[in-house]
Amino acid sequence: MNLDQLFTRNRAWARDIEQRTPGFFSRLQQQQSPQYLWIGCSDSRVPANEIVGLLPGEMFVHRNVANVVVHSDLNCLSVMQFAIDSLKVRHVIVVGHYGCSGVRAAMENLHIGIADNWIRHVQDVRNEHRGWLYSLPEGSMRLNALCELNVLEQSLNVCQTTVVQDAWARGQEVVVHGWVYGLHDGHLKDMRISVAHPESLQLAYAEALSELKKRYVPSAETK
């Protein structure tokens, strides 16, 4: 497809939305009030709005390689602060996906280039859970497990940012979630780490981790 075709498609898309909801764009121009902040992977197969059927204006989005949340990443922190402090989103959702190339590169110590330094953060996750991960069969099962573990760890990181901690301290309602997306069937799965208060963070993490590990008992894979 050439670039002209992208413009043609763009006009058709905008016309379609205006036909269904007259005045859609002029209203949206005045104000955005999304309820959700999506922190996902840059992978082209995981388009945030489309997966959950949301229109422009309904979800604030930050994406990077392997949906990593680093405490010194000004880009991600700025997005989070704007979404939480100004737009007052109610839910922050970290969304990983199975078959993530960034996670695979981390697992297999692949040399990609500058991204190696970014993926180091996922290797930290791998190393943290190394004993358990390497008890699983090598291949897709172990990779899927690291994709899920990465979601839990990055959700934990979101909860520990000053942005979320400050919001909770002033009584603002913000719930942090971790989901994982299946490229093979287009389905989202809730990792069941939903945190709404700083006090419930450690327990929510521990329970979600224990649930995750139960799903990966190697013998259970055959049932």
C-alpha dihedral (183, 187, 190, 191), degrees to nearest 10: -30
Using the contact rule CB under 5 A, the part of the chain among 39-47, 120-128, 162-170, 192-200 near Co ion is 39-47
Cβ-based nearer residue to Co ion, 64 or 201: 64
Smaller CB separation from Co ion, 65 or 195: 65
Residue bearing tokens 């929510």 = 204
CB 7: neighbour CB atoms within 10 A? 10
Q: Does 143 sit near Co ion (CB under 5 A)? A: no
Q: Which is nearer to Co ion, 133 or 180 (CB)?
A: 180
The reply on whether position 100 binds Co ion by CB under 5 A is yes
Which span sits near Co ion by CB under 5 A: 50-58, 101-109, 121-129, 145-153? Answer: 101-109
Residue pair 156/178 in contact by the 8 Å Cβ criterion: no
CB of 142 to Co ion, least distance (A): 16
- Measured from the CB atom, is 153 or 204 closer to Co ion? 153
Piece in contact with Co ion (CB under 5 A), picked from 92-100, 107-115, 123-131, 169-177: 92-100
CA angle, 163 then 164 then 169, to 5°? 100
Cα separation, 116 vs 112, in Å, equals: 6
Least distance to Co ion from the beta carbon of 101, Å? 6
Angle between helices 140-160 and 201-214 (to 10 degrees): 170
Binding of Co ion at residue 158 (CB under 5 A)? no
Cα of 43 vs its chain's centroid, Å: 11
Smallest separation, CB 102 to Co ion (Å): 5
Question: Residue 93's closest CA among 125, 49, 145, 31?
Answer: 49
Stretch that binds Co ion, among 94-102, 166-174, 202-210, 214-222 (CB under 5 A): 94-102
**Closest distance of CB 64 from Co ion, Å:** 9
| The one among 37, 41, 149, 164 contacting Co ion by CB under 5 A | 41
Q: Which conformational region is residue 139 in: left (phi greater than 0), alpha (psi within -120 to 50 degrees), or beta?
A: left
14 versus 183: smaller Cβ distance to Co ion: 183
Residues tagged active-site:
41, 43, 45, 97, 100
Q: Determine which residue in the list 43, 73, 148, 153 makes contact with Co ion, applying CB under 5 A.
A: 43
Tell me the CA distances in angstroms from 41 to 77, 93, 130, 172, 215, one per residue in order: 16, 12, 23, 27, 23
**Footprint of Co ion on this chain (CB under 5 A)?**
41, 43, 100, 102
